[in-house]
Amino acid sequence: MGMPHATLQSWSSLSPSHIADLRLAASKMTGPQRRAFEAEMTWKYGGGNPLMAEAVFGWGRQTVALGLAERRTGIICLGAQAACSGRKRWEEQYPQAAQALRQLADAHAQQDPTFRTTLTYTRLTAQGAFKALEEQGYSEDQLPSPSTMAEVLNRMGFRLRKVVKAKPQKKLKETDAIFDNIKKKDDQAVAAGNVKRLSMDCKATVKIGEFSRGGLTRGDNRASDHDMGCKEKYVPCGIVDEESGALTITFGSSYKTSDFIVDTIAAKWDAMHDQEKADTSLIQIKMDNGPESSGRRTQFLHRVVF
C-alpha cells in the first residue's frame, strides 16, 4: 500500500541534525515516557507509520506501534520487571530483625530540638546496632553490612550520628551531685504524695509564614525564597507532668522572658481541676538555669513568689 504524499514530505522536511536530535532525546528516556515520545514524533512527522519511524530514526517498529496504541487508547502498558525481579530490601527480607533494629534506634534516639524535621538523631552506630542484634540471637547471615545498616536506619527516619546535646564534654563530680540531689527530691516528693512535679523547657523561636524550614515535599508546595521580614513569631514552652506524663505546650508571641515562663506555669495551674489543686500543697519545677529563669533573675523570683 502506498504512503500519502504529505507524509513523504513530512519525513523529507527533517534535516539530518534534526533527526539526530530526536534520536538523542529518545535515548534519554525509558519505558512509557520513551514510547509516548516516539509515538508523538511518528504521528507528527510520519502520519503514524511505525515502518517509516524505524527506517528514519532507527526506532523499533514494535515499540512505536505499542506507543501509538497507548496514545490512541490512553491505556499504559506496565512491565512486570520491577515487581518480579531485583533484590528485596533487607527490612523486607527480615521484618523481625528490622523491627528489633527500630526498637534499638528508638531507645537511643532524640528528636530535633527545633522541630523543623521529622528525622530523629540517634547515638546508635552501625557497629553498635550489629552487635546488639547479634546479642539478641540474630546470625550474621540475617544481618546486613555496616554500610547497609546505615542506609536502613536512614530509610527508617533515623540519622546515624551522635547526639551532641546528650553527650557532655566532661564528666564532673558536680554533675553527679546535681542528679543525685534531683533524685533525692523526687523520692521525697513521691513519698509525700502532695507535691506536683513539673518539668518545663522553652524551645527555639518559630517563624510563622510560608517558609520551607528545610523540609521535603512530594507535591507542588512552594515556599518563600527567604525568611526575612517575618512579622509573626512564636516561642513554644512545654510543661510535662512527671506523674501522669501529660504534656502542655504554650506559645508566646513575644520573647522568652521571665514573665512568659511564669505565665506558662500560672496557665498550667489554672487548667488543673479543683480537686487536683486541693491535693497539691507544693509544686516542684525542673527547668534549665537560663538567663530568664536564673536564681539571680530578680523579675523571675519576684513573679514566682508573688
Cα separation of 25 and 48, whole Å? 19
DSSP state of 141: G
133 and 19 part of one domain? no
Average pLDDT over residues 202-218: 72
32 and 118 part of one domain? no
**In which domain, by residue range, is 126 found?**
90-160
Model confidence pLDDT, tens digit, residues 259-275 = 888 888 888 888 888 88
Degrees, nearest 5: CA angle 211-212-216: 160
In a domain, 271, yes or no: yes
Average pLDDT over residues 248-264: 85
In a domain, 144, yes or no: yes
Q: Say if residue 4's pLDDT is above 70.
A: no
Residue 283 is part of a domain; what is its CATH number?
3.30.420
Higher-pLDDT residue of 205, 73: 73
- Residue 213 is predicted with a pLDDT of 62
203 and 286 part of one domain? yes
In a domain, 272, yes or no: yes
Average pLDDT over residues 171-188: 81
Model confidence, pTM:
0.41
Average pLDDT for the chain: 80
Q: Which of 5-14, 42-51, 273-282 has the lowest mean pLDDT?
A: 5-14
130 and 67 part of one domain? no
Model confidence pLDDT, tens digit, residues 62-89 = 999 999 999 999 988 877 765 666 678 8
Please give the helix or strand (H or E) that residue 109 lies within, else none.
Answer: strand 109-111
- Residue 2 is predicted with a pLDDT of 46
254 and 282 part of one domain? yes
- Residue 6 is predicted with a pLDDT of 46
Model confidence pLDDT, tens digit, residues 149-174 = 888 888 887 765 554 554 555 566 77
156 and 181 part of one domain? no
Q: How many helices (H) and strands (E) does the chain have?
A: 14, 8
Q: Which of 43, 73, 103 is the endpoint of a domain? A: 73
- Would you call 197 helix, strand, or coil by DSSP? strand
Model confidence pLDDT, tens digit, residues 21-51 = 999 999 999 888 999 999 999 998 888 889 9
- In total, how many domains does the chain have? 3
202 and 98 part of one domain? no
